[in-house]
């Protein structure tokens, strides 16, 4: 097994610890933001675990898990968590409901799509060979783009916006840096996904590990003990984002 194929094991471990700490926070605060973050991070972790598994053996179930959770759904779910932190509005709940329905429909599409398992080769990263496993032109191959774009806008946009609000007021420097780390981490894996489609699939595992470390580090930094944010008017000041 190449060094590259070991990286998803490390990503899985980081995401497992990250997911547990986010779910613990949800159990204490009952904020839906942490529920969506936790589910999204769990999906990220499952995707990494499936990558690690597929480095050792073929499994159609693991391939579907990798695609559905690792490539399609997780950015939108994590981003939805950020949306809940930023805006305490009714439309966010409606958007969450839409996300759940669309995610179930997408899962149905992925489960129904035919696989070409004979194209799988052990020892090659799954990100380098998935294009031959999904049939050419299959609609399932397009699914990561709308979910990824939504995740990009909500997660990265939300983190930059949160960081900017704190920076403009010149307060809570730990949250300024923490949110920047979250944004850079998310952009790292988004860039890795684009590179994968351009034929540089071996870079994906590196960018995923960078994303896992930066996002968890950013979360810890933003959540570092310090003054609590001022009462919010229900809008943007939830900028404490991950630490709330």
Partner 1 sequence: MAASGKQKLDRIKTHKMPEQSVLYDRLVPILFVVLGLVTLALIVFSLGVLTGLIHWL
Burial of 183 (0-12, 13-18, 19+ CB in 10 A): buried
Contact with partner 1 (CB under 8 A) among 160, 195, 213, 220: 160
Whose tokens are 């809008």? That residue is: 235
Question: Judged by CB under 8 A, does residue 32 bind partner 1?
Answer: no
- Site stretch for partner 1 (CB under 8 A), options 11-19, 75-83, 119-127, 166-174: 166-174
Shortest distance, position 187 Cβ to partner 1, whole Å = 6
Should residue 142 be labelled a site residue for partner 1 when binding is judged by CB under 8 A? yes
Does residue 170 touch partner 1 according to CB under 8 A? yes
Residue 145 to residues 139, 140, 194, Cα–Cα distance (Å): 11, 10, 10
All residues at 6 or more sequence positions from 218 whose CB lies less than 8 Å from its CB, including other chains:
159, 177, 178, 179, 180, 181, 182, 185, 242
CA distances from 152 to 64, 140, 165 (A): 23, 20, 19
Q: By CB under 8 A, is residue 171 in contact with partner 1?
A: yes
d(Cα 207, Cα 51) in Å, to the nearest integer?
13
Cα angle: 146, vertex 151, 157; to 5 degrees? 125
Largest pairwise CA distance in the chain: 58
Considering the rule CB under 8 A, would residue 54 count as an interface residue with partner 1?
Answer: no
73, 13, 72, 63: which is closest to 39 by C-alpha?
73
117 binds partner 1 (CB under 8 A): no
Q: Which stretch binds partner 1 (CB under 8 A): 34-42, 106-114, 189-197, 205-213?
A: 189-197
Considering beta carbons, is residue 56 or 230 the nearer one to partner 1?
230
* Number of neighbouring beta carbons within 10 Å of residue 12: 22
**Per rule CB under 8 A, is residue 217 in the interface with partner 1?**
no
**Least Cβ distance, residue 204 to partner 1 (angstroms):** 15
Q: Is the Cβ–Cβ distance between 239 and 175 less than 8 Å?
A: yes
Which residue lies nearer to partner 1 by CB, 110 or 172? Answer: 172
At closest approach, how far in Å is the CB of 22 from partner 1? 23
Residue among 64, 95, 115, 153 that touches partner 1 (CB under 8 A): 153
Question: Closest distance between partner 1 and the C-beta of residue 177, in Å?
Answer: 8
Q: Which residues lie near partner 1 (CB under 8 A)? A: 136-137, 141-142, 145-146, 148-149, 152-153, 156-157, 160, 163-164, 167, 170-173, 176-177, 180, 183-184, 187, 190-191, 194, 197, 226-231
């Amino acid at each position: 097994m190449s060094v590259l194929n070991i990286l998803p094991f490390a990503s899985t471990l980081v995401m497992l610890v990250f997911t547990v700490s986010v779910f613990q926070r949800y159990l204490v605060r009952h904020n839906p933001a942490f529920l969506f973050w936790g589910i999204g991070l769990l999906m990220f972790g499952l995707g990494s675990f499936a990558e690690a598994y597929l480095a050792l053996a073929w499994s159609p179930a693991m391939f579907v898990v990798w695609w559905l959770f690792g490539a399609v759904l997780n950015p939108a779910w994590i981003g939805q968590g950020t949306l809940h932190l930023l805006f305490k509005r009714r439309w966010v709940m409606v958007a969450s409901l839409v996300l759940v329905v669309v995610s179930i429909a997408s899962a149905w599409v992925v489960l129904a799509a035919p696989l070409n398992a004979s194209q799988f080769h052990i020892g090659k990263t799954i990100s380098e060979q998935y294009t031959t496993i999904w049939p050419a032109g299959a609609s399932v191959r397009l699914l990561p783009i709308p979910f990824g774009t939504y995740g990009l806008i909500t997660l990265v946009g939300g983190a930059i916006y949160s960081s900017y609000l704190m920076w403009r007021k010149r307060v809570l420097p730990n949250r300024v840096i923490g949110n920047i780390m979250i944004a850079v981490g998310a952009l790292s894996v988004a860039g890795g996904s684009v590179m994968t489609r351009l034929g540089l699939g071996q870079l994906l595992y590196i960018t995923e590990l960078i994303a896992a470390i930066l996002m968890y580090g950013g979360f810890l930094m933003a959540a570092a003990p310090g003054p609590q944010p001022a009462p919010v008017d229900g809008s943007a000041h939830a900028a404490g984002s991950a630490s709330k």
